[in-house]
Amino acid sequence: MKRIKCSQILVMSALLAMSACRDVNKKAIISETAGTYIKTPMESTLQPTNFDTIIDGKAVKLFWLENKDLKMAITNYGGRIVAILTPNKDGNYVDVSIGYSNIKDYLESAESYFGATVGRVGNRIAKGKFSLDGTEYSVVPNNNENALHGGENGFQDKVWEAEQPDTKTLILRYTSPDMEEGFPGNLTVKVTYSLTDTRAVRMEYEATTDKPTVVNLTNHTYFNLNGEGSGSILNHSLQLNADQFTPVDQELIPTGELKDVLGTPFDFNKAHAIGEYIEQEDQQLAYGGGYDHNFVLNGTKSYGMNHAATVIGDKSGIVMDVYTQEPGVQFYCGNFMASENTLKSGAKDDYRTAFCLETQHYPDSPNQPDFPSITLRPGEVYHTVSEYKFSIK
């Protein structure tokens, strides 16, 4: 169980009273792209009052973004996506991301990363150690002996400053102080979440530093394109535009090798069900308990970015395309989900009922000289864009 700060404990009793549901407007919205009427959900369990609180002296809120095709809920606690609502093949909105209906569950959850903005360094750093310009740094280990997603109290535990300039955009800011979790430099971070007219959730990351440091930001939304609580994702169709992946050891730390996917269960260049080869005897699948690996994108381009992946919900017909300026994507298929948490739909987070596609530089990059660098220096601007684009098959 994650540690609860004193300020968090003080608001628990007040939050218990804020659990009533309410109906949303049952209006119809015309989709110009699909040419059909799209029905809103019959009711919503996501009330802003269930997120209104103070943590570490900072106000926590729930923000709704909306355009003609998409709705998205985000909280500035952890900069996390709480819900993404997109039409299915029948024209009904489906919540394709998993999460909780109130801030209390996020604070007490055994799973820290649902929907979160993670950093400073997404994914793993071996032994929590790396050297930069001759100085060795130690990040707080939180995944056996390794550092995962920024250490014990990464960006998912921070309250971000939030600004909503319009109904389609949320700007989040956080300044990570020098040596927070062991990382050097005061890092100023800005993340802009927006809904585009092409039915995409756009994530734009920016950062600057006053000392040399390392940065690898990403979003950790767990998806089920049939809808939260709808069961296994193993029958989802997946295509990954990657000719190689980065093999790992038993601690899920990359070996430094780039291995061809051809002839292995990791070949998703032609779309097939996520679960088609997942039970094959394969050392890499055994290490990850299934897929939990970084895929090396092969440069297939769309919209000026790498077209990383296409996923299709087998029941909903919802298609999600992933575009990114990053060189890699971590594909994780819920191997460690263990029915420990109750989601906003009332369902449990059962084994392999969600997947992640985390756009990123490669894991353990600071210790792998042949991997693309994640070093950021004073005077430079870290800037990268990724999108989750939705359509209907």
Per DSSP, which regions of 28-122 are E strands?
A: 28-30, 37-39, 53-55, 58-60, 62-66, 71-75, 80-87, 93-95, 116-118
Instruction: Check if the beta carbon of residue 117 is closer than 8 Å to that of residue 206.
Output: no
- Write out the two tokens for 277: 């080869």
Instruction: Check if the beta carbon of residue 125 is closer than 8 Å to that of residue 72.
Output: no
User: Which of 181, 326, 358, 387 is an active site residue?
Assistant: 358
SS3 307: strand
SS3 127: helix
Rounded to whole angstroms, how far apart are CA atoms 329 and 342?
28
Q: Let me know if 220 is a catalytic residue.
A: yes
Rounded to whole angstroms, how far apart are CA atoms 203 and 218?
9
Helix (H) or strand (E) holding 283: helix 283-288
SS3 59: strand
Q: Give pairs for 134-143: CB < 8 Å, separation 24+.
A: 135/184, 137/182, 137/183, 137/184, 138/182, 139/181, 139/182, 139/183, 140/181, 140/182
User: Which of 111, 152, 220, 228 is an active site residue?
Assistant: 220
Is 271 buried (19+), middle (13-18) or exposed (0-12) by CB count in 10 A? middle
What is the end-to-end Cα distance of the chain in Å, rounded?
A: 40
From 97, 103, 102, 117, select the one nearest 171 (Cα to Cα): 117
Strands 116-118 and 124-125: unpaired
From 380, 386, 194, 392, select the one nearest 297 (Cα to Cα): 386
Q: Let me know if 358 is a catalytic residue.
A: yes
Write the single-letter amino acid at 219: N
Instruction: Check if the beta carbon of residue 186 is closer than 8 Å to that of residue 210.
Output: yes
- Write out the two tokens for 163: 């600004």
- Write out the two tokens for 238: 């997946």
Rounded to whole angstroms, how far apart are CA atoms 284 and 282?
6
Catalytic residue annotation: 220, 358
